[in-house]
A and B are shown apart, each in its own frame.
Chain A
Amino acid sequence: MNAPIKFYQTGTFTVGNRLLAPEQRSVQASPERSNSLNSGHRACQGCGEALGARYAIDAAMRATGNRLIACNATGCLEVFSTPYPETSWQLPWIHSLFGNAAAVGTGIAAALKVKGREQVRVIAQGGDGGTTDIGLGCLSGMFERNDDVLYICYDNEAYMNTGVQRSSATPPAARTATTMAVGPRPGASFGQGKNLPLIAMAHRIPYVATATVADLHDLEAKVEKAMGLRGARYLHVLVPCPLGWGSASHDTIRLARLARETGIFPVFEAVHGEVTAVTRIRRRVPVMEYLKPQRRFAHLFGSPGHPEMLAMIQAEADRNIRRFRLLEASEA
């Protein structure tokens, strides 16, 4: 806990904030930050999830005065953060199973309540696999009961830790080990997949938000807002995975920003099932710019490539922009 915090250069300007008033600076800019996910973990170079988890948990620790307990689903984050006999976590942390993070969170929250220690808060976290697939039953139960848990999903759009297999969060056309880029319709099928933020909204829980690792202030603000509320809350964070996406490790944050700017990943907040705020696209970009740096979409390009699939992806991004009103009226 007394070790000096290392600030790694990330290729962004988000950490410094020297021109901002102190109270406007990010949690990450502060040497006092809890550094909940300590360095020394075994994540890949450029891992979006490690970044997202550190951002989110540090923000939550500040918001709760370090009164926080985390439970983690099986997955990359759990595996690279606790290589026996070490742990990178500097807060109380439990890993139970793959599909039960939300239920374990429910149990911890119940114990705290019964013991009159409700000022201690609970975060349950997992990847897309543990959230949208195997963990959906427990997650829905936690939402439905409005248990006092913030669930954070770090979405890298496949089962990465076991070798990049497809999950219900895998986007159409993406290559994974179980949706190979072969045959007449290469990559993940169109017409499948779940939108967890919308599912969360359908439960009408107090707070649902999406975020990416490209916008630190936005992510921290959403975590802070969530921790200021009671009841079931859900945060869905897009976290690029260089290994699984076939992207350069220095492109993690850039790709996350492109996901937002293309309209592929709408960034918004919802309260009790209604969208209350969106992050507008600052400079709209065609989906190709987001897809091209990722080898998981390589089969869409070249000759002949798959221009029809590219068009379908663009159409979906257009639909998101319309539906969530991601452009200013003048730009629409």
Chain B
Amino acid sequence: MLQVRIHGRGGQGVVTAAEMLSVAAFEQGRHAQAFPSFGSERTGAPVVAFCRIDDREIRLREPIVAPDVLIVQDPTLLHQVDVFQGLRPDGYVLINSKRSFDELGLGDIAQRFRRDRLITVPATEIALKHLGRPLPNAVLLGGFAALSGLITLDAVAHAIRDKFAGRVAENNVAAATEAFDYVKRCLQGLAHAQTD
């Protein structure tokens, strides 16, 4: 079972991100369960959403305390909430930021995990470019698809079109695709750096 935890602030589409991820997994023929953390929601407050993906029926219903994947939609949370709590040693981390892990002050934390599974993506900037709004949720899913290979970009696009309509959907797909390509390039760069 794959357990994904998404952190963000109210109004950034964190819950929608988890839902879209579950729809993408469904599209690939897998079972998926997505739900929010049910905290008191208000714009700007820290929000957490969860998504479980498996090949059999998912019966477990508890908050994800030991995620395999961490997606952080808002970097201002990094020093406010312990987003890394419970993350598995071989877990994936995707953070919405144009700065690197070190520049974010996460160099020490990054040491505990696999370097090729940690990435930052300038999702807000990509979103502004394609959507005109700083909504990074769909963008980050595109990035996650590239980072892990556990979800295909096609499935992400399908989920986006399932949630949104018309131009909004297409713009989100374009943004997600740009993030996908960006992450792919980063990973190639990382791989080259490691082999140098």
Asked if A and B form a direct contact in the complex, defined as CB atoms under 8 angstroms apart, the reply is no
Report which B residues bind A (CB closer than 8 A): none
Report which A residues bind B (CB closer than 8 A): none
